[in-house]
């Protein structure tokens, strides 16, 4: 299957978020139902957030396209298991930092867990290393202490991946990320 929408920007949302949560953009709602990792996304720029970054990387690996730019916002790196990510999420949740997407209900929780578990079979950092450096940018909120933290930023730097760090932002999505994204595309 090939998805062809806006040629400039395509959103892959973070955990339990819908595309609409990010604004009026085209994208793929990977947490609402089963997804097909082999779906070819025909666009110039894929912007993915949080857990959605693993889908973006795996999808690129299955459909390599040197013309597509991947912009990963607060990616979940390096590879961890479901329990490790769950404990990070609990710490994040108890700090009260989560913005709820009201379009995502309890009925999406089980497909989302299933889909996330399927993604965890892949090593996102190993895939990122295959992508041409000019086609991969990582953007992180400097205040992300739970997922894309300072240790992860160091791993990104050590792998010579372009990293943009934004002061005052954490892990949760913020419109200010789009300012950095516009500079990349």
The domain ranges of the chain are 2-184
For 108-152, how does the pLDDT look when each residue is reduced to its tens digit (9 = 90+)?
999 999 999 999 999 999 999 999 999 999 999 999 999 999 999
Using DSSP, state whether 111 is helix, strand or coil: helix
For 56-107, how does the pLDDT look when each residue is reduced to its tens digit (9 = 90+)?
999 999 988 888 999 999 999 999 999 999 999 988 888 877 888 999 988 8
Interatomic CA distance for residues 19 and 142, integer angstroms? 24
The pair of structure tokens assigned to 25 is 């953009």
Q: Is residue 91 a contact partner of residue 83, using CB atoms and an 8 Å limit?
A: no
Distances (CA, A) of 155 to 66, 125, 162: 23, 9, 11
pTM of this prediction exceeds 0.75: yes
For 27-62, how does the pLDDT look when each residue is reduced to its tens digit (9 = 90+)?
999 998 878 888 888 889 999 999 999 999 999 999
Interatomic CA distance for residues 55 and 14, integer angstroms? 10
Distances (CA, A) of 130 to 62, 64, 119, 133: 12, 9, 17, 9
Tell me which residue of 155, 165, 79 sits closest to 122, measured CA to CA.
Answer: 79
CATH of 2-184, one of 3.40.50.720, 3.40.50.11270, 3.40.50.1820, 3.40.640.10: 3.40.50.1820
């Amino acid at each position: 299957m090939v998805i062809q929408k806006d040629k400039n920007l395509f959103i892959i949302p973070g955990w339990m978020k819908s595309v609409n949560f990010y604004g009026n953009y085209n994208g793929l709602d990977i947490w609402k139902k089963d997804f097909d990792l082999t779906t070819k996304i025909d666009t110039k720029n894929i912007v993915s957030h949080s857990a959605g970054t693993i889908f973006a990387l795996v999808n690129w690996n299955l459909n390599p396209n040197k013309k597509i730019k991947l912009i990963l916002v607060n990616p979940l790196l390096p590879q961890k298991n479901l329990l490790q990510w769950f404990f990070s999420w609990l710490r994040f949740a108890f700090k009260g930092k989560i913005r709820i997407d009201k379009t995502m209900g309890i009925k999406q929780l089980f497909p989302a867990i299933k889909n996330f578990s399927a993604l965890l079979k892949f090593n996102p950092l190993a895939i990122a290393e295959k992508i041409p450096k000019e086609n991969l940018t990582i953007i992180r909120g400097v205040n992300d202490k739970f997922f894309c933290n300072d240790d992860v930023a160091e791993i990104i730097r050590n792998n010579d991946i372009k990293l943009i760090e934004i002061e005052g932002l954490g892990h949760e999505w913020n419109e200010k990320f789009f300012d950095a994204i516009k500079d990349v595309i």
